Copies of this chain bind each other. A is one copy, B any other.
Amino acid sequence: MIKVGIVGGTGYTGVELLRLLARHPQVELKAITSRKEAGMAVADMFPNLRGRVKLAFSTPEEAGLETCDVVFFATPNGVAMQQTRELLDAGVKVIDLAADFRIKDVAVWEQWYKMDHACPDLVAEAVYGLPEINREQIKGARLIANPGCYPTAVQLGFLPLLEAGVVDSGFLVADAKSGVSGAGRKPETHILFAEAADNFKAYAVAGHRHWPEIKQGLELFAGKPVGFTFVPHLLPQIRGIHATLYARMGTEADLQSLYEERYAGEAFVDVMPAGAHPETRSVRGANVCRIAIHRPQGSDSVVVLSVIDNLVKGAAGQAVQNMNILFDLPEDLALVDIGMLP
């Protein structure tokens, strides 16, 4: 059994980790920390866990994280980088669901996250936990930077196009839409029900923190700098990301085959038939990215549709997938939930 600790379990990625890990046959949940809620049964905060998770929140000091095999950080940005070295030194694997280790260029990270990085050397060591591109490196890693939700949907959507070099990489557009759970569980006015329901808007068009993370990936795939425009929007729904990706064809190619071949054998990327329109609900609660490729109206533009559940393939599910790889378990262990439809 893998002894698991979770730091910061009062947010949505925390409760989603618990939902998935509570049914994982190789996992023993040892501790979940929240200084503020220490002593409270997790199931008192999240009643869906009643009868399934006995754990209570504990303070970080009492949690005994150094005796775990792996620790997940489901914390705000900037927390994991303070505690990771100590855990690694104690032989604990670390999977950070926040952004501390995602961006290799520390100066860029510091600019976008507006703080100094506590351990640039660990940034260099960390493996970006997108299994579809880094599976081998993940296997031997000590520290996994679990990708952001938008970055997962957008990178998986653009990957085959850029690897194959068939589009103009100078003008890539990602029009991305996310359910409100992507904004977290902190009480803020703009994500109140009466503000966000029956409403739709773009936000952070001037610059979103996922932009440099995605750009880093796209440039890696393309092997050169890219021009990348990213516009996130807030959807009046709880879960789900839908990324609509636009590019202009450079070299003609059979895109459907390109995608099917690139993702052959990937359990968690589903290339849909030509002409399909993936729905976010088809992945609600499931660790899957569904993708469809379009060439509308015989033009030179390509449109890729990519959907995930932001809390699963975009966060907790991908983290468990990374854990499975790290511990040499079947990659889909405890990740076979089917999307909840309706």
Contact = CB atoms under 8 A, between A and B. Distances in A.
Q: How many copies does the complex hold?
A: 4
Contacts of A194: 12, 179-181, 183, 185, 191, 238, 342
Contacts of A107: none
B193 A185 contact: no
B338 A48 contact: yes
Interface in A78-121: none
A285 B181 CA distance: 18
A292 B42 CA distance: 19
A305 interface: yes
Contact of A49 (B181, B193, B296, B338): B338
Interface size for chain A: under 10, 10 to 19, 20 to 34, or 35 or more residues? 35 or more
Contact of A205 (B233, B285, B305, B338): B305
Most buried by B among A12, A22, A189, A236: A236
Contacts of A300: 227
Interface stretch (A54-62, A254-262, A275-283): A275-283
Contacts of A301: 171, 173, 227, 229
A265 to B, nearest CB: 12
A313 interface: no
A78 B199 CA distance: 32
Interface string A209-241: 001000000000000000101110101111110
B23 A280 contact: no
Nearest to A235: B200
A285 B284 CA distance: 11
A142 interface: no
Contact of A173 (B173, B179, B192, B275): B173
A61 to B, nearest CB: 26
A19 B342 CA distance: 11
14 contacts: A48-B341, A51-B288, A173-B301, A179-B194, A183-B194, A185-B342, A191-B192, A195-B342, A201-B305, A201-B307, A203-B277, A229-B297, A233-B242, A238-B342
Q: Which 10 A-B pairs have the closest CB atoms?
A: A48-B339, A187-B187, A175-B175, A199-B281, A193-B196, A48-B341, A180-B193, A194-B342, A201-B279, A47-B282
